[in-house]
Amino acid sequence: MTEKIDLLLEPRWIAPVEPDALLTGYAIAVRGSQIVDLLPAEEAHQRYQAEEHLRLPDHLVIPGLINLHTHAAMSLMRGMADDLPLMDWLQNHIWPSEAAHVSAAFVHDGTLLACAEMLRGGITCFNDMYFYPQAAAEASTTLGMRATLGITVLDFPNAYANDCEDYLNKGLAVRDQWLNHPLISFCLAPHAPYSVSDAGFERVITLSELLGLPIHCHIHETRFEIEESLRNYDCRPLQRLRKLGLLSPNLIAVHAVHLNHGEIEELARHGCSVAHCPTSNLKLASGIAPITAMTQRGINVGLGTDGAASNNRLDILQEMRQAALLAKAQSGNAASLSARQVLGMATLNSAKALGLDHQIGSIRPGKEADLCAIDLSAIELQPCYDAVSQLVYAAGREQVSHVWIAGRCCVRNKKLAALQENDLKNTVSLWQNRLEIRPGCS
């Protein structure tokens, strides 16, 4: 007697990540929001009666990609102040524009734009650091997207909050409202050592331990940041955070570009994770993070895009290729950071960093059905000797055909299921007219 399920997905290849294998002739059975089975297709035909049986004869199915670090609403600032150093970019362009324009409406519409882009590129979950998390939650759930939203902490005021306690109180109130939502989780997001005081970090540590929340923080992104910390605190930023007690398995260290050997050892010893953002680091000339050394020490490294204002794409497939190539060039070892390692970074490693690896990050019975199908039939992708290698080194987000989150199809045949794209384009045009544009830009 057959069992009823909602979806039987039968692609040419499956890369479950857990285990690290490339399966052919297999199928994925989905009931409700969960994966119930991963088994040979012939067995699946006999065991299950599916509401929808989708055969994808030219496709690779992988776990949904996870963007471990972004500022989603800043998609509305894409290309606004390109080709500038980080601190000039922030202090003279981004922060003044944010002061003038950021609001709940800005965050809602910018996050909606980001989610549309990410979904079309196979990203099913993102870890955000920005303001007005209520608006971000509303936007992401409109498209059925999974999000970990940062309770952002800064020492200086803006339109959203006045000081550290105000940021925390407002963020925690939003967390309380969304506590039981299946797609929304939260983390604490102190912006960076140069923008948060010792007292602010101590408050974050207390809340992290009390509530079991990850801590998401920019760290060692630029040499300037380190020099400023030496002037102001007589120690490097990571040393300061270690003294405060911030280093733990709860910490997601974002960028982590300028690390010495001792600091890599500290991150490894404390079980910290790193959010590697290779494209943003290159575009802002921040540097190249020592990822090979980190992975050799067993540090859990995931992948992020940073915001679209500094990347300018929210494209984890691009970050996968970039990360692999940079690691090879920096280490002088062509075997460094293989295609399968990079796929793990973009999925299971990022899920571990967020504390969500029991739910997402691999294709395994009992986990949520967050899945991405990539069509490898295009002429520019032929021949295909290894589908995972082809995914990392040759394919792009334009090959993403289907995306499921918690069993719901959010992208079908490259089209978003829950959004009229023309309406979103019109909204974005209105925001562009309001935002400060550099001379010479149109």
pLDDT tens track for 1-31: 799 999 999 999 999 999 999 999 999 999 9
Assessment of whether the complete model's pTM goes beyond 0.95: yes
Residue bearing tokens 């199809």: 409
Residues 6+ apart with CB under 8 A from 359: 351, 367, 368
pLDDT tens track for 46-97: 999 999 999 999 999 999 999 999 999 999 999 988 998 778 888 898 888 9
Average pLDDT over residues 177-196: 97
* Single-letter amino acid, residue 121: G
CATH 3.20.20.140 occupies which residues in the chain? 65-353
Compute the distance between CA of residue 441 and CA of residue 71 in angstroms, rounded to an integer.
23
In the chain, the percentage of residues whose pLDDT exceeds 90 is 93
Compute the distance between CA of residue 172 and CA of residue 216 in angstroms, rounded to an integer.
15
The three-point CA angle 172-132-77 to 5° equals 145
Compute the distance between CA of residue 287 and CA of residue 265 in angstroms, rounded to an integer.
20
State the DSSP H helix or E strand holding residue 323, giving kind and residue range, or none if neither.
helix 316-331
Cβ contact 254:273 at 8 Å: no
- Which region holds residue 16: left if phi is over 0, alpha if psi is between -120 and 50, else beta? alpha
In CATH, what is the architecture of 3-63+362-414? Roll (2.30)
Beta bridge partners of 37: 29
User: Strand 146-153 and strand 184-190: pairing?
Assistant: parallel
Number of Cβ within a 10 Å radius of residue 217? 28
pLDDT tens track for 107-141: 999 999 999 999 999 999 999 999 999 999 999 99
Position 376 scores a pLDDT of 98
Tokens describing residue 165: 């306690």
Q: How confident is the model at residue 397 (pLDDT cuts 50, 70, 90)?
A: very high
Position 436 scores a pLDDT of 64
Q: Each residue of 56-81: b (16+ CB within 10 Å) or e?
A: bebbbbbbbbbbbbbbbbbbbbbebb
pLDDT tens track for 271-284: 999 999 999 999 99
Q: What is the mean pLDDT of the chain?
A: 96
Q: How confident is the model at residue 437 (pLDDT cuts 50, 70, 90)?
A: low
pLDDT tens track for 369-395: 999 999 999 999 999 999 999 999 999
DSSP-derived 3-state class of residue 378: coil
Number of H helices, E strands in the chain: 17, 17
Is the dihedral angle over the CA atoms 323, 329, 332, 334 positive or is it negative?
positive
pLDDT tens track for 398-418: 999 999 999 999 999 999 999
Pick the CATH number of 65-353 from 3.40.50.720, 3.20.20.140, 3.40.50.2300, 3.20.20.120: 3.20.20.140
Q: How confident is the model at residue 439 (pLDDT cuts 50, 70, 90)?
A: very low
Position 149 scores a pLDDT of 98
Position 85 scores a pLDDT of 79
Average pLDDT over residues 28-49: 98
pLDDT tens track for 308-326: 999 999 999 999 999 999 9
